[in-house]
Amino acid sequence: MQGFGVHTSMWTMNWDRAGAEKAIAAAVSYKMDFIEIALLNAPAVDAPHTRGLLEKHNLPAVCSLGLPEHAWASVRPEAAIEHLKVAIDKTADMGALALSGVIFGGIGERTGVPPTEKEYDNIARALTAAAKHAKSRSIELGVEAVNRYENHLINTARQAVEMIERVGADNIFVHLDTYHMNIEEKGAATGILDARAHLKYIHLSESDRGTPGYGNVPWDEIYTALAAIGFKGGLAMESFINMPAEVAYGLAVWRPVARNEAEVMGNGLPFLRNKAKQYGLI
């Protein structure tokens, strides 16, 4: 999980054989250091096929997910454990390095009231079991802090750190996202500094989830903070163009946020790469 990567939603959200072939070929053409694969349906993924493609192109991968409602860890920890074990196994079978994202809950999970200690107890229980299984498969787990409109449980870097330290496993890290940070943190640098001891992965996403450099994320502040902590983890561009209805609903994306791939990859990707080079991160 080092260098510059891209979320494969740029090309597909359906990780079947055709989607894998398209996304991996595209990522290679853009000379990405790694890709992030969304596991919306982990059991259906043809792991040997993906592993073969990744090995052919010498392309590392990270997987990500949000838990489905039947496996929300806050209320159904046992179901969450089983769901995460399947995803961890699929991640390992593909030859990927980590499983990250909203591994503690659902995208769109909200109760309408503040989180309870019971919810956090259940999440810690699920993540403890998942971390143990992940370690047996040499997989790391990432906890992504997301904004209050998508989940009510872990919204800030500090909350992610608190959960990781509560679990106490050495194979869990913090995953931040500039889109969520732009909503939740007191300042862009604050979240990065709060997570510095555990931060290994960050989504570089614009304020509207569209083309980086065309919104109001304070990119120089982000990169300055990453450089200040000596960040050596994965920098993953995450921009959305085409999403299935259930994903768009969870993310509350109701209109196109970028015109096309050419706009994002032709303008946003060079913008982010140049900033990373400017601050000595790649």
CA angle 93, 168, 76 (to 5 degrees): 65
Distance of CA 261 to the CA centre of its chain: 20
Catalytic positions, written as ranges: 144, 238
Cβ contacts of 118 within 8 Å, gap of 6 or more: none
What are 113's strand-pairing partners? none
Q: How many Å apart are CA 252 and CA 183, to the nearest integer?
A: 14
Residue with tokens 């209320």: 75
